[in-house]
Structure 1
Amino acid sequence: MPNQKRTKIVATLGPATSKRETLKQMILEGVDVFRVNFSHANYETVKENIATIRELGKETGITTAILADLQGPKLRVGVMKEEVVVEPGDIISFCTGKEFEGTAEKVYMNYDSFPKDVKKGENILLDDGKLMFRVLETNGKDTVKAEVIQGGPLRSKKGVNLPNTNISLPALTQKDKEDAIFAISLEVDWIALSFVRHAEDLQELRKVIEANCKYKIPIIAKIEKPEAVANIEKIVAYCDGLMVARGDLGVEVPAEEVPLIQKELVRTAKRARIPVIIATQMMETMISSLTPTRAEVNDVANSVMDGADAVMLSGETSVGKYPVQVIQKMSKILRNVENSPLIRVPQEPPHIRTNRYITKSICYHAAIMANEIEAKAICTLTNSGYTAFQISAWRPAAHILVFTSNYRILSRLNLLWGVTAFFYDKYVSTDETVEDVNRIAYDRGFVTKEDYLINLAAMPIVDKGMVNTLRVSQVK
């Protein structure tokens, strides 16, 4: 058990993961979170997959989190009648209204306000930026005429990006609301919102969750728009995690700007002490090949070096040929780099005196002290998971062992760097509880004789209040 990796792996579900045995092998090889992509989700299939994952959790003794990823205002073209290849200089019309099959002359666009929002001279990018068009004119009602700048195959249902256009679509569409309510009914652990632009987008999703759920489901803001990067300080105040969604981000802003934006977003998340996921094209070659490129290995390693909590696989596990092998390879890379002394994360102590200042301060000092006395584990009792978020953000060398009687947060904590969570519901006295959790740490191989542990608890222990006690113990 102690040889486990600390950086977490998020794997996307899809046709390639439809077999129970495949899911089981992926869990055993190191998947911590399964992502449901609601851009392509069939409710019945999602329900079956989640039920299988939860059964496998009981069977293997490994809890895996479920992340519901809402599509957001994703713009797409319609279905094409036949294979169309456009060349630079060609003129094509993008039409809204009633859906129709596209041709080389005109294609359907699923965004009704498109002719109103777009202006002459702005760019339209298709299929992750592989095709580029420039707007020649718009009638403001249902047709936009554009010239092909960069050509290629124009395929059905491909995504559209408008890097220069201020779109009027809400971040939470009607489809997203329905998907969110469905995801809540399945008791998912995290909900991610795509194309977040402002803090208000997250507040709107929070209202949907509160109206349909009696407990709080944490929200991940997917950063893939230039407005989100500009508003990041406000956004982190209203979300519980960030995802650097480099696919759309690399189309919405110049691709060469993405590496530095990634580093800045990770730093921002670490300062806010919320988890951050790096996503898109991490091991893309492994969709069809058993070996990743050196650049991909480097990319995964660099994301860990930046301080990411988790790295995410999309097509590699949803439609790829080798969903199990890609997890094996990724786990190997993570284990190899994550303990490097070259990794630096912000280490400034908490200074804003909120009502949780005492807890934050204790978690900070626990992480620092664990490194100083070379404690092998930090054991914390929690009912909300708050201390797990805090300790994880300080990146101690010690194992972070979280004990909770709250089943709802058990799998949720799987997204956090270095955290291993256990169900624990025996609260007698502080002394007995500390001895008990230390024994579990010893039995599971996280500590050996003479090792130091740091225990965090709320006293009196039966009140399950905020952490207010730090204690150092030694395995005898």
Structure 2
Amino acid sequence: MPNQKKTKIVATLGPATSDKETLKAMILAGVDVFRINFSHANYDDVRERVEMIRALSEELGLYTAILADLQGPKLRVGVMSGEVVVSPGDTITFRTGKPFEGNAEEVYMNYESFPQDVKPGERVLLDDGKLIFEIESTDKKEKVVAKVVQGGPLKSKKGVNLPNTNISLPALTEKDVKDAIFACSLKVDWMALSFVRHSEDLMDLQKLIEEHAEHKIPIIAKIEKPEAVENIDKIVAYCDGLMVARGDLGVEVPAQEVPLIQKRLVIRAKKARIPVIIATQMMETMITSLTPTRAEVNDVANSVMDGADAVMLSGETSVGNYPVQVIEKMTSILKSVEGSELIKVPHDPPQIRTVRYITKSVCYHAALMANEIGAKAISTLTNSGYTAFQISAWRPSAHILVFTSNKAILSQLNLLWGVKAFYYDRFVSTDETIEDVNAIACKKGFLDVGDMLISLAAMPIKDKGMVNTLRVTEIESCPV
């Protein structure tokens, strides 16, 4: 029987996931997407890991997706000389220019235009908000003087957040451009852009992908800045998926506001019918322990109940001691909650009469009808993957089986909630094709005799046009 979970698991690659056996065990335990974190990526390692994953997909007959996550403008302090502790009331100078070893009086900042961008009274947060400083003055050239509001150990190379500052850095840094071109050469399935603030950030990455990739690589906008939350409508118009990156978001906005922002972003993604990933600290204790906390189990479950397409693991699988066990545990949580009647699914029919209005309407009614008649699966033939995005967003209780001859989208679709994709390239008559597809679904264990199935197709089939036909079949016999 196929893996019954519909919510997808994204697992970050790292030292803990460097051999083929571990990767295979993780895929079998429920990983749908592997994430390459370009903040800590060595190109040779990445290439080797991608080849392993593609080989395993071939071997297991699965289409595990690969997500390249670009670092974005990560602001950091420099290296410190020895142990440095700062106390409330102390003053400290941040300097740009040439890197130097910092101490309790002076610290190097890797962000060149820091003195030009900040204003007195704004806050500087360090090390995920553990240290808080308030800007007292800036010489607008290379020196910024700040007062310590919340003290503690000041460690080397820690990340900096500027929640009140309008940063002039582009979301796509020089490093990101290089990493994105490399990711295009690997034919990754998705690309994520960090610290997105405006739709222009996404347009820049789109252009880069068009120039360097053989096929369209869809983009996920990582929402981790207050400006992104404010500009969400414009951002959604230019991306193919969202990630609620709660780590930096929880530092940039007060942590207590993150749960409601998470819910708002999930609803917004559903309306746009694009996938949404919930990330950061989902099963953090399982980096070193075999048992997650009750709060973590609750967090994963609530993300599913909010309507997330996917939940993501970071340190748990990249450096954790139990990369396979954490996937098994997460899979069991997902399976136990995702069928619940408590989950509210948005059921607004498509209203805006765009070019694809008929296709949208057919997909909407297929999802609705599947729930009404208790259909076991909805099968769709697609060339672009569009119908898969549409049906998935309406969260039918049926399996969503997608058949395509477009190899480029097979693993891409693996991020979408409830979607299972299959390679199929015999487009003959409608009847024959649908019989073929039904036979594959039976063989794979998704259908049995007596089950109801909804089939979507574009008539005539050989034209590979837009979906315009919905057909209901009761399975009378399954090939052995």
Partner of 2:305: 305
> Over residues 164-183 of structure 1, what are the superposed CA-to-partner deviations in whole Å (9 max), with x where a residue is unaligned?
11111111111111111110
Please give the secondary structure, in 2, of the residue aligned with 1:453: strand
Runs of 4+ residues over 3 Å off in structure 1 = none
> Over residues 123-163 of structure 1, what are the superposed CA-to-partner deviations in whole Å (9 max), with x where a residue is unaligned?
10011111111112111111111121111221221110001
> Over residues 321-376 of structure 1, what are the superposed CA-to-partner deviations in whole Å (9 max), with x where a residue is unaligned?
11111111100100000000000121100010111111100000100111111110
Contact in 2 for aligned 1:267/1:345 (Cα 8 Å): no
Match status 1:388 vs 2:392 = no
The letter of the residue matching 1:443 is K
In 1: Cα distance, 2:100 partner to 2:308 partner: 43
In 2: Cα distance, 1:212 partner to 1:58 partner: 25
Partner of 1:93: 93
Alignment of 1:136-215 (within 5 A): 136-215=136-215
In 2: Cα distance, 1:414 partner to 1:108 partner: 43
Normalising by structure 2, we get a TM-score of: 0.98
The letter of the residue matching 1:123 is R
Identity, in percent, stands at 77
Match status 1:132 vs 2:132 = yes
Where does the alignment leave 5 or more consecutive residues of structure 2 unmatched?
A: none
Partner of 2:271: 271
Partner of 2:34: 34
Partner of 1:102: 102
Partner of 1:376: 376
Match status 1:400 vs 2:400 = yes
In 2: Cα distance, 1:353 partner to 1:307 partner: 26
The letter of the residue matching 1:267 is I
The letter of the residue matching 1:418 is G
Please give the secondary structure, in 1, of the residue aligned with 2:31: coil
Greater displacement, 11-20 / 332-341? 11-20
Partner of 2:253: 253
In 2: Cα distance, 1:428 partner to 1:119 partner: 66
Please give the secondary structure, in 2, of the residue aligned with 1:379: strand
The letter of the residue matching 2:115 is P
Please give the secondary structure, in 2, of the residue aligned with 1:32: strand
In 2: Cα distance, 1:83 partner to 1:373 partner: 66
The letter of the residue matching 2:461 is I
Partner of 1:122: 122
Contact in 2 for aligned 1:306/1:343 (Cα 8 Å): yes
Contact in 2 for aligned 1:275/1:309 (Cα 8 Å): yes
Change over 3 Å in CA distance of 1:265–1:367 after alignment to 2: same
In 2: Cα distance, 1:214 partner to 1:407 partner: 12
In 2: Cα distance, 1:99 partner to 1:384 partner: 48
Partner of 1:364: 364
In 2: Cα distance, 1:264 partner to 1:345 partner: 14
CA displacement at 1:463 relative to structure 2? 1.1
Contact in 2 for aligned 1:384/1:409 (Cα 8 Å): yes
The letter of the residue matching 1:358 is I
CA displacement at 1:83 relative to structure 2? 2.4
Contact in 2 for aligned 1:136/1:146 (Cα 8 Å): yes
CA displacement at 1:393 relative to structure 2? 0.4
In 1: Cα distance, 2:208 partner to 2:435 partner: 42
In 2: Cα distance, 1:50 partner to 1:215 partner: 17
Please give the secondary structure, in 1, of the residue aligned with 2:54: helix
Please give the secondary structure, in 2, of the residue aligned with 1:119: coil
Match status 1:17 vs 2:17 = yes
Partner of 1:240: 240
Greater displacement, 17-26 / 413-422? 17-26
Contact in 2 for aligned 1:124/1:162 (Cα 8 Å): yes
Match status 1:417 vs 2:422 = no
In 2: Cα distance, 1:150 partner to 1:336 partner: 42
CA displacement at 1:215 relative to structure 2? 2.0
> Over residues 76-100 of structure 1, what are the superposed CA-to-partner deviations in whole Å (9 max), with x where a residue is unaligned?
1112222222222222211111112
In 2: Cα distance, 1:288 partner to 1:251 partner: 24
In 2: Cα distance, 1:467 partner to 1:103 partner: 64
Please give the secondary structure, in 2, of the residue aligned with 1:201: helix
Cα RMSD of the aligned pairs, angstroms, is 0.9
In 1: Cα distance, 2:462 partner to 2:77 partner: 57
Greater displacement, 391-400 / 84-93? 84-93
Contact in 2 for aligned 1:73/1:172 (Cα 8 Å): yes
Partner of 1:441: 441
Contact in 2 for aligned 1:270/1:345 (Cα 8 Å): no
CA displacement at 1:3 relative to structure 2? 4.3
The letter of the residue matching 2:348 is E
In 2: Cα distance, 1:269 partner to 1:470 partner: 26
In 2: Cα distance, 1:321 partner to 1:80 partner: 29
In 1: Cα distance, 2:16 partner to 2:95 partner: 35
In 1: Cα distance, 2:153 partner to 2:409 partner: 46
Alignment of 1:37-116 (within 5 A): 37-116=37-116
Contact in 2 for aligned 1:163/1:252 (Cα 8 Å): yes
Please give the secondary structure, in 2, of the residue aligned with 1:39: helix
